[in-house]
Chain A
Amino acid sequence: DVKVTQSSRYLVKRTGEKVFLECVQDMDHENMFWYRQDPGLGLRLIYFSYDVKMKEKGDIPEGYSVSREKKERFSLILESASTNQTSMYLCASKPSGGGFHTIYFGEGSWLTVV
């Protein structure tokens, strides 16, 4: 069965801390994504990666970076967490080859920055 696993479901971090959100997929997908979801704003794309070591900015990359050293793993990094980064973060993956593939999502990581 298809699986996207986000290592942490709930995190509480302090302002200024460096935060790592990890995501692993077992489907050999080329494309991986990080979204954040906030009430009234829907899902907003932070970064995506279409291959190992490749990354592209999404709509709201400020304050975030990503790492993709292996095909199955895509990490989201908050260099210095701030309270406005309190949100639900969703990782997703899909095969390459255009837009006719569905996206598979992880269960989400709830991050609270205090």
Chain B
Amino acid sequence: SQQGEEDPQALSIQEGENATMNCSYKTSINNLQWYRQNSGRGLVHLILIRSNEREKHSGRLRVTLDTSKKSSSLLITASRAADTASYFCAPVSSNTGKLIFGQGTTLQVKP
């Protein structure tokens, strides 16, 4: 499968802690994107990292990409209850240009 595979499937932390989610994929990519989904809602784009980038920041989000290991991680620092959601990585195939979504990581941040 070309899809991104997130790990862990579920994560529960206390407010203020950091949350780290990992993504592995199998295909060659030209970029990798992370999305967030609140319960019962659509997905919202968080951040895009190109294949020639190793790290990218956006507010409390930090994304890393290791193309040699075909893996990426999303770090949310100083988590808040409002960060409770599912997070999906979507590697973009360099062959087809298509985004392939994995099953996601469900994050629960307890107040």
Q: Which residues of A contact B (CB under 8 A)?
A: 4, 35, 40-43, 45, 88, 90, 92, 98-100, 102-108, 110
Known: A42-B102, A43-B88. A103 touches B45 (CB 8 A): yes
B31 at the interface (CB under 8 A from A): yes
Closest to B38 in A: A107
- Chain B interface residues (CB < 8 Å from chain A): 3, 30-31, 33, 35, 40-45, 48, 50, 88, 90, 92-94, 97-99, 101-104
Contact present for A105 and B30 (CB under 8 Å): no
A64 to B11, CA, bound (A): 35
Q: Is the CB of B42 within 8 A of A99?
A: no
Q: Sorted from nearest, which 5 A-B pairs have the closest CB atoms? A: A105-B42, A99-B92, A42-B103, A99-B97, A43-B101
Q: Which residues of A contact B3 (CB under 8 A)?
A: 42
Known interface pairs A41-B103, A42-B3. Does A100 touch B42 (Cβ–Cβ under 8 Å)? no
Q: Please judge, given known A-B contacts A99-B93, A100-B30, whether A42 and B101 are in contact too, CB under 8 Å.
A: yes
